[in-house]
Amino acid sequence: MKVVLREDVSGVGHKGDVVDISDGFAQNKLIPQGMAFKATAGAERDAENMRKAREVKASEEKAEAEEMASRMQDETLAIEMKAGEGGKLFGSVSSIDISAALSDQKNISIDRKAIVITDSIKEVGTYSVTVKPHPDVEFTISIDVIAESV
């Protein structure tokens, strides 16, 4: 059965795609849950409009991510954490901490899942962290972890 996807479906396709899938999968899962509708001549025109809108949105998101990457290149964030003797932190710096610091210090909103920390940050010092705001855009920021003054 040919259907038009109303949203991205893992393993099947993306929003606006016209896909040929089994009747049972379409009638028992996709159509009742509103994830797809039966493909007709008019529906295929709608699907084309959905694809164009998806492509425009994807290009806007990529342009926004590239602009953010160029703005954040060679920038440093300062994060204060409680530390004990010898600069050892009580806990570690997480992606949530980095996301909050970006929001507070640079007015940039980045999902914590886009921040990639390769090694645990458990001591005072300077670290490099990779940020992937878009699948095609990646940049590195420097993090200065400093001991919180009591």
DSSP label at 85? Answer: G
pLDDT in tens, 31-50: 999 999 888 888 878 888 88
How far from 110 is each of 52, 99, 114, 116, CA to CA, in Å? 26, 6, 7, 12
CA geometry: angle at 58 spanning 57 and 61, to 5°? 85
Tokens 């909103």 map to which residue?
Answer: 109
CA 110 – CA 92 distance, rounded (Å):
19
CA 144 – CA 147 distance, rounded (Å):
10
Computed from CA positions of residues 54, 60, 64, 65, in that sequence, does the dihedral angle turn out positive or negative? positive
Question: Which pLDDT tens digits describe the chain residue by residue (150 residues)?
Answer: 889 888 888 899 888 888 999 999 999 999 999 999 888 888 878 888 888 888 898 889 899 888 888 888 778 899 999 998 888 998 899 999 999 998 998 888 888 999 999 888 999 999 999 999 888 889 999 999 999 865
pLDDT in tens, 84-105: 888 899 889 999 999 999 899 8
Residue 91: name the closest of 81, 101, 100, 99 by CA. 81
Tell me the three state secondary structure of residue 117.
coil
Report field, pTM of the whole predicted structure over 0.85:
no
CA 9 – CA 141 distance, rounded (Å):
33
Go through the domains of the chain in sequence order and give each one's CATH number: 2-62 (3.40.5.10), 73-147 (3.10.430.100)
CA geometry: angle at 110 spanning 109 and 113, to 5°? 155
